[in-house]
Amino acid sequence: MESKKNLRPAAFLDRDGVIVRDLGYVYRLEDLEILPQAAETIHELHQLGFLVIVISNQAGVAKGKYAESDVKAFHLALQAELIAKTSVGADAYYYCPHHPDGTVPAYAIACDCRKPGIALLQKAAEDFAIDWSKSFFVGDRRSDIECAEKAKIPGFQILSGQYEVHPHPFANIQGLADVLTYARNMKQRS
């Protein structure tokens, strides 16, 4: 078992609408647009000692709109842009390619990795020594906040106006940078 001092808190971030502009089924490299202050916020989260882990539903794979190779290429390009902006990117990218109403049979399944399921967070816990008591989730959809609730961590919902608002998020915020006050307070408690 990891000693408490070797554990690091994680900032779990949804991708579309949190880090990059959500245009609906974002996968084309020419549609990659990092949101204002997202790269700088990720950089500061790293400085505060947080792991930055991207957790994303990519139903477009199950719906035949793009392939898993497109998701992976998009993540590589996003990582390169983040590093180019601030010398820091995400620590890991996890995504769910499934959707129960998909048209691609191999991906047209109900699963635990699709948010609000927490299988991707559990996978991150296998890969990293995470201090869950100081971790949090930022998303723009109700399912992101439900995922945070299931994982028993605070869920911050970005109010983009695109998606249904969860009735009881830990906090509603306007953008990713708004979590920095919370993250700084967590750091001070260490």
Say how far apart CA 108 and CA 102 lie, in whole Å.
4
Does the active-site annotation cover 14? yes
Amino acid present at 91: D
Does the active-site annotation cover 22? no
Say how far apart CA 78 and CA 5 lie, in whole Å.
31
Phi and psi dihedrals of 152, rounded to 5?
Answer: 60, 45
Question: Do residues 145 and 139 lie in contact, with contact meaning Cβ atoms separated by under 8 Å?
Answer: yes
Of the candidates 16, 22, 91, 140, the residue annotated as catalytic is 16
Say how far apart CA 135 and CA 153 lie, in whole Å.
6
Instruction: 149-157: list long-range contacts, CB under 8 Å, 24+ apart.
Output: 149/116, 150/116, 150/117, 150/118, 151/12, 151/118, 151/121, 153/12, 154/182, 156/182
Nearest to 160 by CA among 175, 170, 148, 149: 175
User: What is the set of active-site residues?
Assistant: 14, 16
